[in-house]
């Protein structure tokens, strides 16, 4: 699949922040996105060891699922090294070069990208899901395991219960309970998708476990690639 080269990979914090600022106006946060996607791709990255520092070995995986059956349609994995230091808010730059390689290995163009991370629930309103969405032009959402920015009330204990995630008075996502009495996930829009649809799709992708199957399958593939 096509991934556009919209910028060089940065070497410094200032360069990385300038790229985020330059790409943010390209975000489409008004389009409704695919209400019933046929195919959904999960994106995840695993690190060897503790993953600290520039040059840490990593594997990036893209797994395309049939949205109705959750069966694997296609998968692609690439192994590389962390391309940028660990700096909060700029974490995407560590993973994107290898993740782009994995995406380019797909023949299938999915209807939706589901990132293990954040979209606009980000200090600069430009997390990994936003970045991947702009580079590919595809609808994208982020599903984070823990909070990164903002405040929220604890959602109810049942599957589907949710509460707004707000930052500086702005709703940047939703805290969503995907299974009864388990920790919620943090859903945010990345590109060309609405928050209501994003949360509904995440629930459909998580029939049995806390995390959506897209994330679970991509996580497994990336870990296997590192072991091999």
Task: Give the integer Cα–Cα distance in Å for 141 and 133.
Answer: 8
Q: Does the annotation place 116 within a ligand binding site?
A: yes
Residue 51 has pLDDT above 80, yes or no: no
In the chain, where the domains are located: 35-226
pLDDT band at 34 (very low <50, low <70, confident <90, very high): confident
CA distances from 102 to 1, 89, 96, 118, 189 (A): 10, 22, 10, 19, 22
Residue 159 structure tokens = 């599957």
What is the pLDDT, as a whole number, of residue 54?
66
Q: What is the pLDDT of residues 101-158, one digit of tens each?
A: 999 999 999 999 999 999 999 999 999 999 999 999 999 999 999 999 999 999 999 9
50 pLDDT above the threshold of 90: no
**pLDDT of 167 over the 60 cut:** yes
Arithmetic mean of pLDDT, 179-191: 98
Q: Is 44 among the annotated ligand-binding positions? A: yes
Q: How many CB atoms lie within 10 A of CB 137?
A: 15
- Cα 75 to Cα 30, 97, 218, 224: the distances in Å are 30, 17, 8, 13
Q: How far apart are CA 35 and CA 40, in angstroms?
A: 12
Instruction: Give 35-226's CATH code, choosing from 3.30.2170.10, 3.20.20.70, 3.20.20.30, 3.40.190.10.
Output: 3.30.2170.10
Sheet with 39-47, edge to edge strand ranges = 72-81, 57-66, 39-47, 112-115, 140-144, 185-191, 170-176, 162-167
Q: How far apart, in whole angstroms, are the C-alpha atoms of residue 178 and residue 186?
A: 10
- Model confidence at 56, pLDDT cuts 50, 70, 90, reads confident
| Token pair in block for residue 82 | 């962390």
Position 31 scores a pLDDT of 83
């Amino acid at each position: 699949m096509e991934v556009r080269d919209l910028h060089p990979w940065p070497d410094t914090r200032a360069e990385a922040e300038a790229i985020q600022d330059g790409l943010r106006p390209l975000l489409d946060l008004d389009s409704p996105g695919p209400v019933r996607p046929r195919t959904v791709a999960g994106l995840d990255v695993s690190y060897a060891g503790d993953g600290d520092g520039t040059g840490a070995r990593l594997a990036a995986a893209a797994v395309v699922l049939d949205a109705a059956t959750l069966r694997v349609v296609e998968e692609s994995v690439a192994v590389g090294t962390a391309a940028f230091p660990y700096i909060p808010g700029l974490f995407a730059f560590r993973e994107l070069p290898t993740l782009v390689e994995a995406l380019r290995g797909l023949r299938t163009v999915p209807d939706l990208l589901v990132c293990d991370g954040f979209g606009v629930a980000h200090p600069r309103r430009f997390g990994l899901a936003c970045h991947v969405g702009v580079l590919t032009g595809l609808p994208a959402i982020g599903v984070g395991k823990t909070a990164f920015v903002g405040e929220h009330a604890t959602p109810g204990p049942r599957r589907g219960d949710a509460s707004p995630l707000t930052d500086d008075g702005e709703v940047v996502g939703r805290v969503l309970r995907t299974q009864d009495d388990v920790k919620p996930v943090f859903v945010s829009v990345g590109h060309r998708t609405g928050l209501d649809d994003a949360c509904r799709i995440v629930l459909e992708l998580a029939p049995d476990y806390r995390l959506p199957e897209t994330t679970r399958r991509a996580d497994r593939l990336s870990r296997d690639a590192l072991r091999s």
